[in-house]
Amino acid sequence: MYAEIAARAGFVQRLQAVKVDRDIFRKVALPAPANAKPDQAPVIGYELECKGDSAYHVFSGEGGVWRIGEDEKKPLNLFVAVSQCALEEHVTPPAVHRKNFFEGLPIMRQVKQGAVSDVNDGWRCPYPFAVALHPMLTARWRRLLDDILTGEDLA
């Protein structure tokens, strides 16, 4: 979904899968080369690098936890991290694959009943929502740029 938004914005992208084997993370470039050996290690996440004018600022507010599912007792939690480093420099958070990693982290987005909502901003739209989110991210970036240019407090 973020890859689709990045493509709409014209950003250059690279993607890698994060696999775990006995608590050791391995990062695998995607798409895998044709001659790659089959790998049975479970994928615990994906990391996407976007390059382009203002790429970081467009996605800077997207970090946080996504909660997916109707069952409040067993939701699927996803962690989104946004940073300014290249894929090679990005450090996957330790224990991100552990159930208790998400305890205490604020929920940013919630997906249920075929819609995604932003817990903080109060908006809701159909899921998948790349078409709707791209203009929202662009508008947020323009507001941030206006604040920078007018000297507003960004804290």
pLDDT above 90 covers what percent of the chain?
10
In the prediction, which pLDDT does 2 show? 83
Q: Are 61 and 147 in contact (CB under 8 A)?
A: no
Domains of the chain with CATH codes: 2-33+41-150 (3.30.70)
Mean pLDDT (10-residue bins), the chain, 155 residues: 84 91 87 81 90 86 84 82 90 88 87 84 76 74 77 64
In the prediction, which pLDDT does 7 show? 86
Task: Give pTM, 2 decimals.
Answer: 0.74
Distances (CA, A) of 152 to 11, 61, 143, 144, 146: 28, 17, 11, 9, 8
In the prediction, which pLDDT does 58 show? 83
